[in-house]
């Protein structure tokens, strides 16, 4: 649409597209301009008719296989505001907290500490996708409630993983941002289900997914009408065994070029080693990441999950402090609460 096209013009175009049962209009609202993406067989679209409607700037094909996620469809970056935090704007955000929710006390301390140390969003897993079935699987719905209580007390925005379509509604009721883990990046039914919610979704890169597959997975969520997708690079599997995964920092500028969606980096799962987390967090911010997700525990050795990669709260402070000047050096700032 033309910039600042009036609402009735936008609605008219949507209605005209809807007349054709084979086509699905998906409006992408921007501050300047609205783009109406049309999904379906392009032969079914009467391009000249649509182009002649009032308010239409131009009709153009999107060549990338991920249509809604692509920069072609939307030039301006997607920004997602949750409470006092905006993701994808000028400011860099920090998500931190334990790998797993363990108890009221642990999450209570985690919420307080993460906030005090300069973190913006509290993380914690209640549904844990563990490699082995005998490992701690998380507290499930009870864990979600624990997390929500702790976050509420300290006014923190929350993010937590959902693994099963049957839990999506419950998690969406209690948690601010739904996380899709690496192992579920191509669980298409789950992607569609979180796409039907009104909650932002952070999609982690599958451990053997290409960037194209990553963006196509995001497309499944966007297609359902949920525009608030955040991407997260968390490392991929390679032959290298010095690190848990091989953290691909190049993903950040690649995604920035291909897509308008925000991209975060998780150096915790990306490296699996505490002494590598800070340098890789610095690299990620320098490369233009919109935020960092890290695992930090009030008492790392007691952590029931991923204890060997958990930062202490002191480490978290030091990491956050050194990210400020790096963000500034590339014309950004760390977010403040
Ligand atoms: C997590 O962030 O809790 C997690 C399990 O990470 P990933 O899905 O990237 O392995
Ligand atoms: Mn973990």
Same domain, 135 and 31: no
Domain contains 280: yes
Domain contains 208: yes
d(CA 57, CA 51): 7
pLDDT (tens, 9 = 90+) of the chain, 337 residues, equals 999 999 999 999 999 999 998 899 999 988 888 999 999 888 889 999 999 999 999 999 888 999 999 999 999 999 999 999 999 999 999 999 999 999 999 999 999 999 999 999 999 999 999 999 999 999 999 999 999 999 999 999 999 999 999 999 999 999 999 999 999 999 999 999 999 999 999 999 999 999 999 999 999 999 999 999 999 999 999 999 999 999 999 999 999 999 999 999 999 999 999 999 999 999 999 999 999 999 999 999 999 999 999 999 999 999 999 999 999 999 999 999 9
Tell me how far the alpha carbon of residue 99 lies from the centroid of ligand 2, in angstroms: 4
State which of 130, 269, 303 you would mutate to test the pocket of ligand 1, scoring each by most atoms of that ligand within 8 A of its C-beta: 269
State which of 95, 100, 125 you would mutate to test the pocket of ligand 1, scoring each by most atoms of that ligand within 8 A of its C-beta: 125
Same domain, 14 and 109: no
Same domain, 201 and 314: yes
Q: How many residues does the chain have?
A: 337
Same domain, 24 and 132: no
CA distances in angstroms from 227 to 37, 95, 168, 304, listed in the order given: 12, 20, 17, 34
Ligand nearest to the CA of 179: 1
State which of 123, 144, 161, 207 you would mutate to test the pocket of ligand 1, scoring each by most atoms of that ligand within 8 A of its C-beta: 161
Same domain, 132 and 180: yes
Which pTM value belongs to this model?
0.96
Tell me how far the alpha carbon of residue 180 lies from the centroid of ligand 2, in angstroms: 13
Domain contains 71: no
Domain contains 57: no
d(CA 264, CA 122): 15
Same domain, 19 and 96: no
Same domain, 36 and 170: no
Domain contains 329: yes
Same domain, 96 and 150: yes
pLDDT at 227: 96
Same domain, 36 and 184: no
Tell me how far the alpha carbon of residue 161 lies from the centroid of ligand 1, in angstroms: 8
Domain contains 285: yes
Q: Is 103 helix (H, G, I), strand (E, B) or coil?
A: coil
**Are 66 and 212 spatial neighbours (Cβ–Cβ below 8 Å)?**
yes
Q: Which residue has its alpha carbon closest to ligand 1 atom 8? A: 181
Decide: 182 in ligand 1 pocket, CB within 6 A: yes
Q: Which of 20, 88, 114, 48 is nearest to 262 (CA)?
A: 88
Domain contains 2: no
Q: Which ligand 1 atom lies nearest to the CA of residue 128?
A: 5
Q: Which CATH number belongs to the domain containing residue 164 in this structure?
A: 3.20.20.70
CA dihedral defined by 239, 242, 248, 249, rounded to 10 degrees?
Answer: -160
Q: Is 209 helix (H, G, I), strand (E, B) or coil?
A: coil
Same domain, 24 and 131: no
Same domain, 212 and 139: yes
Same domain, 207 and 147: yes
Question: Quick one: tokens of 242?
Answer: 């010095």
d(CA 169, CA 190): 11
Domain contains 167: yes
Q: Which structural domain range is residue 272 located in? A: 80-334
Number of structural domains the chain divides into: 2
């Amino acid at each position: 649409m033309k910039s600042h096209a009036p609402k009735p013009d936008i609605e008219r175009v949507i209605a005209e597209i809807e007349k054709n049962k084979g086509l699905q209009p998906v409006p992408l609202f921007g501050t300047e301009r609205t783009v109406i993406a049309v999904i379906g067989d392009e032969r079914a679209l009467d391009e000249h008719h649509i182009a002649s409607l009032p308010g239409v700037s131009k009709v153009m094909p999107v060549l990338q296989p991920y249509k809604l996620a692509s920069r072609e469809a939307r030039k301006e970056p997607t920004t997602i505001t949750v409470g006092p935090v905006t993701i994808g704007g000028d400011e860099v955000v920090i998500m931190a907290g334990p790998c797993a929710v363990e108890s009221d006390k642990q999450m209570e301390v985690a919420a307080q500490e993460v906030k005090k140390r300069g973190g913006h969003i509290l993380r914690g897993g209640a549904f844990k996708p563990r490699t082995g079935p005998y490992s701690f699987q998380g507290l499930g719905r009870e864990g979600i409630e624990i997390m929500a209580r702790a976050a509420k007390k300290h006014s923190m925005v929350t993010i937590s993983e959902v693994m099963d379509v049957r839990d999506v509604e419950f998690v969406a009721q209690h948690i601010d941002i739904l996380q899709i883990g690496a192992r579920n990046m191509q669980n298409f039914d789950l992607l569609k289900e979180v796409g039907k919610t009104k909650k932002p979704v952070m999609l982690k890169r599958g451990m053997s997914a290409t960037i194209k597959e990553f963006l196509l997975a995001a497309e499944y969520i966007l297609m359902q009408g949920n525009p608030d997708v955040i991407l997260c690079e968390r490392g991929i599997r390679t032959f290298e065994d010095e690190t848990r995964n091989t953290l691909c920092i190049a993903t950040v500028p690649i995604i920035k070029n291909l897509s308008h969606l925000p991209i975060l980096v998780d150096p915790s799962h990306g490296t699996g080693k505490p002494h590598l987390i800070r340098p890789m967090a610095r690299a990620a911010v320098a490369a233009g990441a919109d935020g960092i997700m890290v695992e930090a525990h009030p008492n790392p050795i007691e952590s029931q999950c991923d204890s060997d990669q958990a930062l202490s709260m002191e480490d978290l402070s030091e990491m956050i402090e050194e990210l400020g000047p790096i963000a500034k050096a590339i014309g950004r700032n760390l977010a403040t609460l």
